[in-house]
Structure 1
C-alpha cells in the first residue's frame, strides 16, 4: 500500500492511499478459501466445489468484501504509522472510476486531536457551599410530595368546575366533522389549569357541572407530531361525568401509613435522605462549574472544527426546540439568532474542556471499568421497549462511537471527582436559596448560556442516541414538558390509561404538542 499526505493544515489531514490490485486479489483468494466449504453446487459434494468456480459464481461480492477489508486495514495502518488521533470518524472515499482488477485509489480526510501539554492540576482551589438538610427542608419536601399525590373528592352536582378542580369526561373529537384515530375516550381525568392538554382545551372546562355536555373547540399546534393534525381546527364533544375538588391532605402518621410506612418519622427519615442527595447535587454542580472555570482560564488550544460544529448543533437544536415553546416563538428564535456567535463560543469552550478532562484522565489513569460500562448500557437499554433492548445492547457493543458517547458523561464525572480530591477545598454553609443563586449567577457569567438567552439554558451533554418519538395519532393531545425532550443528560430529572398515551422506546408518554 502506498500512502501520500496531501494536506496538513492545522488539525486537518488528508491522505491518498493506493491499494494494489495484487493485494485485493490476494484478499479475494482468502475470501474464497473461507466461503468454499459452505458453497453448494450440483455435481459436487458439499465443501468440494473448486475455488475457480466459487470465484466465478461469487466473484463480484467477494471482490467487494475484499476491497472493504483492504480499505479498513489500510486506514488502520495509516493511523498507526502516522500516530494519528482522529477527532471523529475519518471520511474515507473511493476514487471515481474504480474497476475490478485495478489498483484502488482511496482518499482519507480527518481532523486530529490537538497535542495538549500535560495539564497541571496543582494549585486548584475550590469553595464547597453546603446546605444542611434541616427539619424545615424535609417538611417542605414532604409537602411537595403530598401536593404531587393530590387527591380529589366528589363535589356536589351543582358545583361549577374552577381552576384546580378535576373533571371526569368522555370525549369524541373530529376535524371538519370527521372523527380521527385516537380522538375518543371515556372517563378521562383532567385537572383544570394543569396544562395537561393542548392550549385552550382546559380553559373551556371552567364553569361546567356534572352532567353537562359541551363542545370544546381547539386548534392543534403547528408543530404537532401528527402530520394530518398540524394546525387543524378540531371540535370535541365533551360529556362531564363528575366534577371533583381537591381533598385536604393532612401530613401525619396516617398519611405515612397510606404510603406503606410505619409513621411520619419514618417518612421524614426517607425524605431527609432525598433532600441530602438533592443538596449534595447542587453543591457538586457549583463546585464543578468553578473547577471548569479554572481549567478553562489556564488552558487555550485549537480544537477540531467538526467537534465544535457537532457540539454547537446539539446546543442549537435544543434551544430552537425550547424557543418554539415560548409565547412568541418567532421573536424567541430571532433573539436566538442574534446570540448565535455566543453559543458557538460556548461549543468551543465545551469541546476544549472535554478534551482537557480526557487528557487529565488518561494522564492519571482514570478509567471506566467494564462493570460500570455494562451498567451504563443496561440503564440506557431500559429506555426502550422490552423487545428492543437486546438490539440496543448489541448496537452499543458493535459501534465504538455509540459506546464512547455513552461512556463520556461518566468518564467526565470520574475525572472531576479525581480533581476534587487533588484540590484544596474550603467549606462554607449557606442556605439553599443562596446556593441556587450562586449557581444561577455562574450560569449567567459562565459558559451555560449568553446573558440575553431568549430560551431556557441549554445543557452541554449529548442526548441519548436511542431517543425517538412515537408516531401514533391520538387526542385531545396531552403535551410533554419541553425539558423532557431527551436532550438533557446533565440534569435528567406517565400517564396510566389516558386516551392520549403514545408509545415511545424510552418510556410511555402522552402525545405531545412538541
Structure 2
C-alpha cells in the first residue's frame, strides 16, 4: 500500500492511497467464494452456481463491498503509518475497482494540531484576593436573623416599614398596555429583603392594609425578561394584610439557637471562615481563567472545527437541560451560536495546549494522587471512603483523574507565570468574559 500525505492546514490533511491490485484481487476472490456458497440462481442448487455466473451476477455488489472494506482498512493503516491524531470521520472519494489496476482513494480528515513547544515562560496572569469584609459578615448574620424571626400582626396597626411582610394584589401596565400575565393575587413580599425593585419597595413603604396605590417603575436594562428591559411599568397595588417581622436579639443566646456555637463571636468567626473559603475558591477560579487566557494568547494555534462543533453542541445541550428547554435545542443553538462558539473554541484550545504542557513537563497522575483526592472528598462530604470510591469507580474515575491533572497543571502554570494583583473592578470585568471554566485534557 502506498499512502501519500499532504497537509492542507495544521488541522486538515489529505491522504492519497493506492491499494495494490494483488491485494484487491485476493479480497475479490475471497468475497466471490463466500457469495457462491450461498448464491441462489434458478436452475442451480445452492453452492453449485458456476463461478463465472456468480461473478457476472454479483459483480457490482461484491466490488462495492470489497472497495468499502479495503478503503476502511487502508485508511487506518495510513493513519498509523503517518501517526495522525484523527478527530473526525474522513471525507473519502474512491475510484472504481478496475481489473489489474490498484484501487485508489483520497481521504480528507481533521487532525489535532502538532504542538511542538508550548511557550510558558512569558505567561502573565491577573490575581485578585477577596478578603471578607465586616459588612459581608453582618449581612450573613442579618439573613440568619431573618430566617429565625417570627411574624405577627402589629397592634395597633401601622404603616408598612422595613422587615414587614405584606400580602398584596396587583395588576400591571407596561408602556400603557395591560399585561394580565404579570398580574398577581395574594402575593407575599418582604420589605427590606432586597428581592424587590427599589421603586416598587419604596412605593409600598408607608402603605397600610386596605390601601390602593399606583406605583411606577422602570425596569433595568439587564432585566431577565428581554421584553421588559428599559420599559416603564405601572403597578396598581392593593395591600391586603401586613405582618411585622420580629427579629431575635443579637447575642450569645442567638448563636446557640442557630447552631452549635457558644458565643456570638464564635458564630461570626465561623461565618467569616465560610465566606473566605468561597471567596478564595472564586479567586482561584478567576486566576485559572486568566492563566488560560495568557496560555492561549502566547500560543496561537488552529483547532479542528469538528472539535469546536462537538463542544458547542455539548454546551448548548447542558444549558438547555439546565433551563428545562431540551425541546428547543435547535432554536437555542441558533440564538446562542455566537457566544457558545467562542467559548467552545477557547475551551478546545485550552484542552489541546494543556495536554501539550502535560506531555512536555511530564505531568502525570498516579493512583496515589487519585486515592488522596477521593479521601479528601470523603472528608469534605462526610461520606465513607468506600462509598466515595464506589461512586467514582469505572469510567467515573476519569472525572477525578481529570480534576487532579488540571490542578497539577494549574500549579505548574502558577509557578512559571508572572502574577499581577489587580483591583476588584478589573477582576470583576475579566470574570464576565468567561462562562464555562472546566477543561478536558486529551
TM-score, structure 1 as length reference: 0.45
| TM-superposition CA deviations, 1:213-243 (whole Å, max 9, x none) | 5688999999999999999999988653333
**C-alpha separation between the residues in 2 aligned to 1:300 and 1:287?**
18
What SS is found at the alignment partner of 1:116? Answer: coil
What SS is found at the alignment partner of 1:149? Answer: helix
* C-alpha contact 1:311 1:351 (8 A) present in aligned 2: no
- Residue 351 of structure 1: how far off its partner (Å): 6.1
Which of 357, 360, 384 does residue 360 from structure 1 map onto? Answer: 357
Q: For 1:99-498, what aligned pairs fall within 5 Å after superposition?
A: 107-117=107-117, 140-149=135-144, 151=146, 153-154=151-152, 156=154, 158-161=157-160, 165-169=164-168, 186=186, 188-191=188-191, 194-196=194-196, 205-212=204-211, 239-244=238-243, 247-248=246-247, 250-264=249-263, 265-278=265-278, 280-281=280-281, 284=284, 299-304=298-303, 306=305, 354-363=351-360, 364-367=362-365, 411-420=405-414, 437=423, 440-441=425-426, 448=430, 457-459=432-434, 461=436
| TM-superposition CA deviations, 1:282-339 (whole Å, max 9, x none) | 6646865786688678x5453326489779989xx9xxxxxxxxxxxxxxxxxxxxxx
| TM-superposition CA deviations, 1:330-362 (whole Å, max 9, x none) | xxxxxxxxxx9xx98x99887655533322223
Structure 2 unaligned segments of length 5 or more: list them: 35-64, 97-102, 317-337, 378-391
What SS is found at the alignment partner of 2:267? Answer: helix
What SS is found at the alignment partner of 2:13? Answer: strand
**Residues 217 and 158 (structure 1 numbering): CA distance in 2 closer, same or farther, change over 3 Å?**
same
Q: Which residue of 2 aligns with 1:491?
A: none
**C-alpha separation between the residues in 1 aligned to 2:72 and 2:159?**
72
| TM-superposition CA deviations, 1:407-461 (whole Å, max 9, x none) | 86764333112455x66999xxxxxxx9662x655677xxx4xxxxxxx721163
* C-alpha contact 1:12 1:111 (8 A) present in aligned 2: yes
TM-score, structure 2 as length reference: 0.50
* C-alpha contact 1:211 1:240 (8 A) present in aligned 2: yes
Q: More helix by proportion, 1 or 2? A: 2
- Residue 78 of structure 1: how far off its partner (Å): 5.0
- Residue 143 of structure 1: how far off its partner (Å): 1.3
What SS is found at the alignment partner of 1:115? Answer: coil
Q: Which residue of 1 aligns with 2:334?
A: none
| TM-superposition CA deviations, 1:76-98 (whole Å, max 9, x none) | 55543322234xx4254566999
**C-alpha separation between the residues in 1 aligned to 2:111 and 2:7?**
11
Structure 1 unaligned segments of length 5 or more: list them: 30-64, 318-339, 379-392, 427-433, 449-455, 465-514
- Residue 110 of structure 1: how far off its partner (Å): 1.2
Q: Which residue of 2 aligns with 1:90?
A: 88
* C-alpha contact 1:193 1:202 (8 A) present in aligned 2: no
The alignment of Structure 1 onto Structure 2 pairs a total of residues equal to 348
Further displaced range: 227-236 or 107-116: 227-236
